[in-house]
Every structure is written in structure tokens, then in C-alpha cells.
Structure 1
Amino acid sequence: MAKFLLKSTYSAAGLKGLVDDGGTKRAEVVRKMIEEAGGRMESMHFAFAEDDTYVLCELPDHKTVAGLAIAIGATGGLSVQITPVLTPAEVDEVTRMKTTYTPPGQ
């Protein structure tokens, strides 16, 4: 499975829902959604920064994570950004791949 970082920012309505539900309930909702999509949530954190939440998870593929992002965004409670992430071992593997590339103009 591929790893993804989901960063989200709450709308005003989403913040109201967070106040009503609390952080633990929201984390369980997110965990259930990810698991029902065939994935696994590694962690979820709330932040006081540009983004309100950070979720590190594994999901089967890019189509699955795109579907989740669309479903989340359609609720209007928050906007979400998806970043595919690699483990150090995966970076080791890809840096050993041999490719040929010619820069533009050469």
C-alpha cells in the first residue's frame, strides 16, 4: 500500500462540528473512513498552524485517496490536500534506479 499525508483546514462550520464532537471522535471518524477504504491510519494530529489536521495513512492506491478527498471536500466542513510520501527505504530503492535523462537544450 502507498503512504499519504492528508492535511486539512476546517471551515467555520467544520470548526463548529469539531467543538461539538471533540478531537477524539473526529479521529475515530477519520480512522473508520480510512479502514473502510481498505487502508490504515498511522496517526492523526491537530495543529495550530496553516493546516488544522495532519493524517498519516496507508491506502491501496491514488484513486482511493482521491475518492476520499472528494468525499471529504464535498461536505464543506474542511478542505484537504493530499501528499504522497515515501519511507527512507523506498527512497533508497528509487535512488538506485537507473534512468537516462537529457536536460532541455543539451
Structure 2
Amino acid sequence: MGYYLLQWKYKDAQVKRMISKPHNRQAMAAKAIEPFGGKLHSFFFAFGPVDGVAIVEYPDNESAAAGAMLIAGADVVESLSTTVLLTSAEAEQAMRRAGTTRHSYSAMPE
């Protein structure tokens, strides 16, 4: 299972619907995440360039993509981004691997 950061901006029409008929958007998000084996860990509304953020766990990238497609296709968000997250342990392992892997990469040609 991997972790993902979802960030979205609602369409104006959706904001109007939420104002006229307030409801639990977190529960609605879970309905789009759980069918793909995902688990919604946290859900927040936000001020700024995005209207909401969530931390989600999915079994794999394909499941995360399918969940994102379902949400994007529902015509409620203007934009949606999905960012793959690494745990601290995964990042540490990547650091070790980067430091021990033989390579010929150079930022500048020699």
C-alpha cells in the first residue's frame, strides 16, 4: 500500500450546491476511494490555491489513478492532482540506494 496526497479545487457550481445543501464531503470522497481498495486517512478543506487536501492509501498506482479518474469524471472539481508520497523509511532507503548505486550520471558533460 502506498500513500498519496490529493489536492483539488471545486468547480463554482459545486460550491454553490454545497452552500445550498451542506453535506459531508469527506464521506462522499470515501465513496470514490474505497471501491479501489483505498483508505481515506485525512480530509481537509483549505484556503488558498486549492479547496481541499486528503491523504489516501491505495494498494498501487493503478488503483490511485482509477480513483482520481472517477473523481475527475464526476464533474465536481475544476482541478485534481495526485502526488505519490514516501514514508520516512522509504525515503531513507532511496537515499541509501542513490548513494550506493553505480552510475555515470553527471549534471554537466565532461
**TM range, smaller chain:** 0.7 to 0.9
Give the structure-2-normalised TM-score.
Answer: 0.85
Runs of 4+ with deviation above 4 angstroms: none
Unaligned 5+ segments in structure 1 are: none
Unaligned 5+ segments in structure 2 are: none
1:35 and 2:39 equivalent? Answer: no
Q: Highest CA radius of gyration, 1 or 2?
A: 2
Q: Note the 1:43-58 alignment, pairs <5 A.
A: 43-58=42-57
- Structure 1 residue 11, shift from structure 2 partner: 0.5
Write the deviation string for residues 72-103 of structure 1: whole angstroms up to 9, x where unpaired.
Answer: 11222102101101111111111111322422
Identity of aligned residues (%): 30
Q: Decide whether the 8 Å contact of 2:32 with 2:71 is kept in 1.
A: no
Write the deviation string for residues 28-80 of structure 1: whole angstroms up to 9, x where unpaired.
Answer: 11123222210111100001110000010100111111112222112221021
Superposed CA RMSD in Å reads 1.4
Q: Note the 1:1-106 alignment, pairs <5 A.
A: 1-19=1-19, 20-22=21-23, 25-78=24-77, 79-97=79-97, 98-99=100-101, 100-103=103-106, 104-106=108-110
How many correspondences in the alignment?
104
